[in-house]
Amino acid sequence: MASFRYGVVLVLTLVLVVFIIAAPTADWSRAIALGLSGGSLVVVVLTSAARPAARRDRSLALGGATLVFLLLTAVGVVPDGLAAFLLVAASGTLLVQLSLGTTRLIRDRGVTLQAVAGALAVYLLLGLVFAWVMAVVAGLSSAPYFAQGTDGTLSKRLYFSYTVLTTTGFGDLSAGTAVARALAVLEMVFGQIYLVTVIGVLVGSFAGRGRRPAGPG
């Protein structure tokens, strides 16, 4: 039976976010980030509602590919551009698979703790995806992405992404172009709507299940 271990995915995703922000830019750090992303995707596939044989085959293929690219990235064989693409592909695929899996879990079993964990992991992944979009926009623009006169590193862009997603806004980094400001507004609106609707409703429903009175007898 599908076990939907989204609590594990949430922990791995949180570790990935903190690691990318805190770690220096190097081959070994990109390798670890890729390993965390691939590991999360393996957990989602391995505990999904697909047939056992399909789950096993897909998880083995993903795990093997992740291990190979992790080792190649760690020793510097994989170019920086390809390593970045692999991270983007892993994060985007994880976001889609996790969203579909969480939706199916809620439909089949109602709001469970694993469903809440899955929804929270999706929220964290949104910040990652917006950071990747920032990198693409910065690469295509001739003007600095930030008003401070820099495009920033992956660490800074991810840090900025979460300050926008959570509407914290420390002010040390700010969008410097019209496209960057539009992207920031989109992320703020999307993040707040997701928190109020999806997370708020799921947490409220899960808490309500624990307060329901027992039936007669």
Q: Could you tell me the residue range of the domain that residue 199 belongs to?
A: 6-210
Residue 24 is assigned to a structural domain of this protein: yes
Residue 64 is assigned to a structural domain of this protein: yes
What is the pTM for the complete model shown? 0.88
Residue 1 is assigned to a structural domain of this protein: no
Label residue 217 by pLDDT band (50, 70, 90).
Answer: very low
Judge whether residue 67 has pLDDT over 70: yes
- When computed from its CA atoms, the radius of gyration of the chain, rounded to whole angstroms, is 19
Of 210 and 163, which is predicted with more confidence?
163
Give me the mean pLDDT over the 114-134 stretch.
Answer: 92
Residue 200 is assigned to a structural domain of this protein: yes
Of 130 and 203, which is predicted with more confidence?
130
Residue 217 is assigned to a structural domain of this protein: no
12-16, 50-54, 119-123: the lowest-pLDDT one: 50-54
Q: Which residues contact 127 (CB under 8 A, 6 or more apart)?
A: 17, 158, 161, 162, 165, 187, 191
114-123, 124-133, 199-208: the lowest-pLDDT one: 199-208
What was the pLDDT predicted at 51?
A: 84
CA atoms of 155 and 73, how far apart (whole Å): 18
Residue 65 is assigned to a structural domain of this protein: yes
Residue 22 is assigned to a structural domain of this protein: yes
Percent of residues, the chain, with pLDDT higher than 70: 95
Give me the mean pLDDT over the 17-45 stretch.
Answer: 91
What was the pLDDT predicted at 117?
A: 92
pLDDT averaged over the chain?
A: 88
Judge whether residue 190 has pLDDT over 50: yes
Residue 50 is assigned to a structural domain of this protein: yes
Number of domains in the chain: 1
